[in-house]
Amino acid sequence: MFERIAENTTGYAPAGLPVSYRIVNEDGTVTDPDPTTYESAEQRRSRAALLERARDHIFWRRVLYYMFVFVTLALVFMPYYRPPIPGAEPEGWLETVLSRLFGWLPALLPGFLSSWIDYWAAAWIQSAPWFLVLALVYVLLLWHSQTITANTLRLSELAWWHVKHAKTPDAPQPATPPVGPFQRLANFLRNSRRVEAFHRVSAKKAVPALAALFALYVVMGAGYRLAFHLPNVGDGVCTKWFDDQNGAGASPDPAPWGEKIEIDTRVPCQHTGLRLQADQRYAIEVDVQEDWKDDQHPAGIDGLSGYRHLLRPQFVAGVPSRRSLLLPWYTLTGEIGRDSGHAFPINRDHFILKPKRSGFLYVYVNDAINGLGGRLGFGSEAWDEYYANNVGTATITITELP
């Protein structure tokens, strides 16, 4: 090992050698403790101190890895927690710049990949401030990671400098990286018993247990949706609602463009009477008339307020029964064509829409549907019971643009 270090092999700077050691020679003889063949006692202590600092940098690089994973997941899942409005025109200079930046991506990919990346690009464009913050954090993490890697290599090289440059003791040494706040924090965390215990418990017990629970949740949720939700409700909510109302509101008189249309959150499907045409531009405005609530949980047109509901059992367990899995709870939703599946969030109070298909516009909030409801022969409750405790009304105004 020492011979390889003495050859000044680039990047070879082992950190596992303790301060006190013995050397086994080629003839099998073993030296006394703390030999001075390659380094003195002072050099051993200096080498150990520098390698200890290198370990702090290595630990911090692991922390950066988890931060990279978090930021990457935040970017990948942005269409889920910040769903875009397909066909909405960019607003403001920031969205316009990002639109031009990402606009060429879908054209490079064929078929469904093009629509897939177009949906992701729309989410990043319409949540431009969020995207820029995450992108900036990602770039800073990348830069910081490269700095940490460079400092780790420099500290390791300096630790073994007296061995690597034994024949050229006058060779100029690079400057020793200063001890910064991140290294101090890494040293504290690395030597903290509580952090070590937390990491040990989370890595060996908590994470595997949560992964198993999540897998079970996905399997059970998929089973419920396949066995009850899809065959008993499926995408036919509007049809079922109008059938239950004896057809009332199923085909209203055509509404004039630019007039306010009343929206009630308790109605599972509301026919606006407006037929949208593909590639035609429309200005859409929403005005909330009273505070929205899902039972006692505050909400708005972009869904339930805050993040506490994400940990509430009734909402976690109810996700498989949610009308649209890709949109947040209680989001005001528009659907072009009855039960067509071409739904989009109306999560802004005003925007310009250029739809990609034609059809009548239906509006509702994204609540749960009871696939075991009594009206379908699977219990005593109605299939639309979860809409009954909704509170809130609004008006929507749609104007046809030239």
Instruction: Decide: 156 and 55 in contact? Cβ < 8 Å.
Output: no
Find the range with the poorest average confidence among 26-40, 129-143, 229-243, 260-274.
26-40
Mean pLDDT score, 350-359: 95
Reply yes or no on whether the pLDDT at 280 is more than 70.
Answer: yes
Run of H or E residues at 399: strand 393-400
> 30-73: per-residue pLDDT in tens?
877 777 777 888 888 898 899 999 999 999 999 999 999 999 99
Nearest residue to 38 via CA among 162, 177, 167, 121: 162
Tell me what pLDDT residue 199 has: 86
List, as own/partner pairs, every contact residues 163-171 make where C-beta atoms lie below 8 angstroms and the sequence separation is at least 24, other chains included: 163/2, 163/5, 163/6, 163/38, 163/39, 164/5, 164/6, 164/8, 165/8, 166/6, 166/38
Q: How far is CA 192 from CA 197, 200, 205, in A?
A: 9, 12, 20
**pLDDT tier, 8 (very low <50, low <70, confident <90, very high otherwise):** low
Above 80 in pLDDT, residue 111? no
The yes-or-no verdict on residue 330 having pLDDT over 70 is yes
Residue 373: pLDDT band (50, 70, 90) is: confident
Pick from 300, 316, 290: nearest CA to 365: 300
**pTM > 0.75: yes or no:** yes
Question: What's the mean pLDDT when you consider all of the chain?
Answer: 88
Domains of the chain: 2-71+134-191 (no CATH), 83-126 (no CATH), 237-400 (2.60.120.430)
**Residue 377: what pLDDT?**
52
* Mean pLDDT, rounded, for 156-167: 82
Confidence check: pLDDT of 184 > 70: yes
pLDDT one-digit tens code per residue, 235-254: 789 998 998 888 888 888 88
Q: Residue 256: its pLDDT value, please? A: 87
Give the range among 155-164, 191-200, 278-287, 389-398 with minimum mean pLDDT: 155-164
Both tokens of 152, joined, read: 């780790």
Cβ atoms 305, 299 nearer than 8 A: yes
Give residue 11's pLDDT: 63
